[in-house]
Structure 1
Amino acid sequence: MARPIAGPQTLLRSLNGRAILETLGRRGPLTRSELMAETGLSRTAVTQVLRMLESAGAVAPAGLDTDTRGPAASRVALHPRLGVAVAVHVDHHAAHVVLVDPTGAVRAEAHGAFPPHGDRVDHIVDLVGRCRALVAAPLLVAVVGVPGIVTADGGIRDDQGPDGGAFRSALAARLDCPVRVENDVNLAALAELTSGTGAELSSFALLLFDDALGGGIVIDGTLHRGFSGVAGEVMYVPQTPLPIGAPVLSEEVVADLALAHGRPVDAAAAEHLDAAAAGDPAALAMAAEMGRRIVLVAGTVGLVLDPEAFILGGTAAHPVLVDAVERVAAEYAAQLPLRFLVSSFGPEAPLVGAVGEASSALRVALFNSILPASDRRSR
């Protein structure tokens, strides 16, 4: 008969403590019985760990459970002032900042366009400051989604070239907490994978069209960033008769298509698609061309990776463009079947992904900071 592996009590306490912290962070306030059911720990183990966490100031009473039959049981939750994380979505025009607690609940939110000649870091720090003024808890970690290629060391490569990690370093210094920088489309793919259209798929490619067309690739349930962060830069997949390196679909491409079809060149893609929905022939022709380009990108990706489905996000999820994509895909179905689905989160997907990753990183930070302190007190 196999015997359980023996180990130091501090290790066992840490493992049990992590299980309870993760559960409270994921589920919110729970009774001891609910914690036992969620973690598989005994009542004695749950009681001991909660006593340890209470002494460390990590958990606090959270009312009574009056929904179940029998005597009301007390609930416990992570202490509301234990710590928060900030999730940031940066695009070419503005920044959106959200403060979240370990359960993923939004505690404060701010949004603002970048000033014409201002610094991005200054602007983000100002928005974070507005949020922190509303929440009495320390800021422990930040997750920032940005357009452009993000390297493994947090450097950003965009249309102004590589920054060598300068943006992340400056933001970390100003916020006084660790900062993780991630490609915005990758964060959108993580949102779909965790709780969106991709949750039931083993593999998919998110095609998100905002200012430009970007891809987020999930293989066997794991986000694929590539060796240097380039995976998913589908805007530059070669298409005939475009020259190598020319964008397949972007704001500039939409403006060129508008010029060619006699439409306003300064209108956003969504405005052209709305006009197409109203029956405008020139806008319908533009939508057909945009749909053709998206399908050819998907076909190229499909021949290499063969994902279970393609998820259309951002402006690509506009009903007119979805219809155009499906019509073009039907023409190629005999040679290369492609399945298209629509994003669960629309243009908010990158921010949803940043919130989810910030909440997860916050729970890890809390685990690393709480348990060593409580272990020292218990010795």
Structure 2
Amino acid sequence: MARPIAGPQSLLRTLNGRAILETLGRRGPQTRAELMAATGLSRTAVTQVLRMLEGAGAVVPAGVDRETRGPAASRVALHPRLGVAAAVHVDHHAAHVALVDPMGVVRAEQHAPFPLRGDRVEHITSLIDECLLAVQAPLRLVVIGVPGIVTADGGIRDDQGPDGGAFKAALISRLDCPVRVENDVNLAALAELTSGAGAELSSFALLLLDDGLGGGIVIDGMLHRGFSGVAGEVMYLPQTPLPIGAPVLGDAVVGDLALTNGRDPSLTLDQHLDAAAAGDEAALAMAAEMGRRITLVAGSVALVLDPEAFVLSGSAAHPVLVDAVQSVADAYAAQLPMRFLVSSFGPEAPLVGAIGEAASALRTTVFSSVLPDRSSR
């Protein structure tokens, strides 16, 4: 019998190895029988691949399965020292850091407001350093969600203008690992697409309200960023009687609405909404106007993209605001029917999205580092 050539065998080992690593990454510790069932590989193939992965330091024994009937079977798991990724959500006030392993499990977490005078990069990296002390594993990459327009090369354009990629470059220099910068609302949309309110939809638009109003657009199951990262910047969509270029919603608008309705403008949006939930008439009037503005934004998007649904996130998911939006939408339903859903993750949606993207990128990175290099064969 002719000996098989090396190329196809190397390719087969790589494919089998990736199938097993992906299964361990998504399902946690597995027995050989469970790996066979999940991947469709034979017992011999699973045994050979596990031997290769153990030699590469990618997998380790993980106890014994005593729950299933029959003889006890040993489990294997990804090696905990394969490394971690940092998922970061930055808003105008604070940074939230979570370290995740290849299975997407959060291993350490830190959250702290930005100092009044201080460097954003130094603040973020110090939080990551604190998390790394608790985990004792190498940092492989960072996924960070920020407000503002994010270009394809990771540059940020916010209310202080474009940064030319300086923020990303500073993080890479300080952390010495790859850094991916994303718009925070886009990450929230990815969270809903992966395991939230949009998981069963082929298209939807997420509307997230916090310091401002932002949109994340999913078309045919894919996030749509636009040519220059501007897709979803809905806060300045024209609305009568607002002047062109005026924000539809945001902290300043909420303050103006509070003054107009005789409420304290220093209160937060959520405080006004909680007062509305308690029956405060002035706060209810504020909520009604905010609901009208959000619904008109949704209507403008619907006329262009016609998504299956809109997902309300951040403060837009507050029950009072959801009711206000639905009330206005019902009034327009004969002319333009729109479906509204509530976010599965609320204010945490951008961080949840960053965690999911960081875990996925981490699996790709570490699996590539331990599998045979087909290009050298």
Same fold per superposition (TM over 0.5):
yes
Whole-Å Cα distance in 2 between the matches of residues 180 and 355 of structure 1?
12
> Which moved further from structure 2: 273-282 or 181-190?
273-282
> Which moved further from structure 2: 331-340 or 15-24?
15-24
3-state SS of the aligned residue for 1:348?
helix
Which residue does 2:68 correspond to in 1?
A: 68
Which residue does 1:135 correspond to in 2?
A: 135
Q: Residue 7 of structure 1: CA displacement?
A: 5.0
Task: Count residues in correspondence.
Answer: 373
Q: Residue 15 of structure 1: CA displacement?
A: 1.2
The answer as to whether partners of 2:11 and 2:374 remain within 8 angstroms in 1 is no
Q: Residue 372 of structure 1: CA displacement?
A: 3.8
Q: Residue 245 of structure 1: CA displacement?
A: 1.4
Normalization by structure 2: what TM-score?
0.97
Which residue does 1:267 correspond to in 2?
A: 267
1:101-250 counterparts in 2 under 5 A?
101-250=101-250
Amino acid at match of 2:22: E
Q: Residue 374 of structure 1: CA displacement?
A: 11
Which residue does 1:96 correspond to in 2?
A: 96
The answer as to whether partners of 1:235 and 1:247 remain within 8 angstroms in 2 is yes
Q: Residue 375 of structure 1: CA displacement?
A: 10
Q: Residue 327 of structure 1: CA displacement?
A: 0.5
1:24 aligns with 2:24: yes
Which residue does 1:3 correspond to in 2?
A: none
Amino acid at match of 1:268: T
Q: Residue 250 of structure 1: CA displacement?
A: 0.5
Structure 1, gaps ≥5 residues long: 1-5
Map Cα deviations across residues 328-357 of structure 1 (whole Å, 9 max, x no partner).
001000000010010000000000000000
The answer as to whether partners of 2:203 and 2:309 remain within 8 angstroms in 1 is yes
Whole-Å Cα distance in 1 between the matches of residues 375 and 53 of structure 2?
10
The answer as to whether partners of 2:10 and 2:372 remain within 8 angstroms in 1 is no
The answer as to whether partners of 1:190 and 1:223 remain within 8 angstroms in 2 is yes
Map Cα deviations across residues 104-136 of structure 1 (whole Å, 9 max, x no partner).
111100010000110000000100010000012
Whole-Å Cα distance in 1 between the matches of residues 41 and 153 of structure 2?
38
Q: Residue 371 of structure 1: CA displacement?
A: 1.2
Q: Residue 20 of structure 1: CA displacement?
A: 1.1
Which residue does 1:53 correspond to in 2?
A: 53
Whole-Å Cα distance in 1 between the matches of residues 374 and 25 of structure 2?
18
Q: Residue 17 of structure 1: CA displacement?
A: 1.0
Q: Residue 48 of structure 1: CA displacement?
A: 1.0
- Structure 1 residues 72 and 37: alpha-carbon distance in aligned structure 2, compared to 1, 3 A threshold: same
Whole-Å Cα distance in 1 between the matches of residues 43 and 201 of structure 2?
37
Structure 2, gaps ≥5 residues long: 1-5
Map Cα deviations across residues 54-106 of structure 1 (whole Å, 9 max, x no partner).
00001000011111110011110100111100000000000000011000111
Which residue does 2:284 correspond to in 1?
A: 284
The answer as to whether partners of 1:53 and 1:374 remain within 8 angstroms in 2 is no
Map Cα deviations across residues 307-345 of structure 1 (whole Å, 9 max, x no partner).
100010010011110110011001000000010010000
1:344-359 counterparts in 2 under 5 A?
344-359=344-359
Which residue does 1:343 correspond to in 2?
A: 343
Map Cα deviations across residues 149-184 of structure 1 (whole Å, 9 max, x no partner).
000001001001111111111101111110000000
1:323-334 counterparts in 2 under 5 A?
323-334=323-334
Normalization by structure 1: what TM-score?
0.96
Runs (4+) off by over 2 Å = 372-376
Whole-Å Cα distance in 2 between the matches of residues 248 and 45 of structure 1?
59
The answer as to whether partners of 1:56 and 1:374 remain within 8 angstroms in 2 is no
Whole-Å Cα distance in 2 between the matches of residues 115 and 149 of structure 1?
24
RMSD: 1.6
Q: Residue 38 of structure 1: CA displacement?
A: 1.1
Q: Percent identity?
A: 79
> Which moved further from structure 2: 240-249 or 181-190?
240-249
Amino acid at match of 1:302: A
